[in-house]
Amino acid sequence: MPAFISALFDFSFENFITPRLVGVIYAIELLASVIAWIMFGVDGFMGGVLRGVFQMFILAPIGFVITVLFVRVTLELFIAIFKIAEHTRGLVEKS
């Protein structure tokens, strides 16, 4: 934990904390998506049973999958950029 705190306040940005946080960010996003799915379904049932079933079992799962895919791809893009930076740093240090 002290290494994380010291990396958090590293103003030279030599140590990256984003790769360490990606799993936590993804878990928070999944939890938020599940909560949104439930809220969207409950909102639908307030408008009627047919609307609730449609929202809960058709629209909400589609929105859930799209949201999770978008966030997952974005986080993977961030990780790829950080890996490129780490590999580039390694190449510069070797030369």
35 token code pair: 């909560």
Number of domains the chain is built from: 1
What is the pLDDT at residue 25? 95
Mean pLDDT of the chain: 90
pLDDT band at 19 (very low <50, low <70, confident <90, very high): confident
Residues in the chain: 95
Instruction: Tell me how far the alpha carbon of residue 4 is from its chain's centroid.
Output: 19
Is there a contact between 17 and 4 (Cβ–Cβ < 8 Å)?
Answer: yes
- Residue that is written with structure tokens 């740093």 in the block: 89
Q: Which carries the bigger pLDDT value, residue 31 or residue 4?
A: 31
Look up the domain containing 52 and give its range: 16-94
Does residue 32 form part of some domain? Answer: yes
Compute the average pLDDT of residues 56-84: 95
What is the pLDDT at residue 20? 86
Is this structure's pTM higher than 0.85? no
Does residue 2 form part of some domain? Answer: no
30-35-39-40 Cα dihedral, nearest 10 degrees: 10
Instruction: Kindly state the percentage of the chain with pLDDT values over 70.
Output: 99
Is there a contact between 82 and 18 (Cβ–Cβ < 8 Å)?
Answer: yes
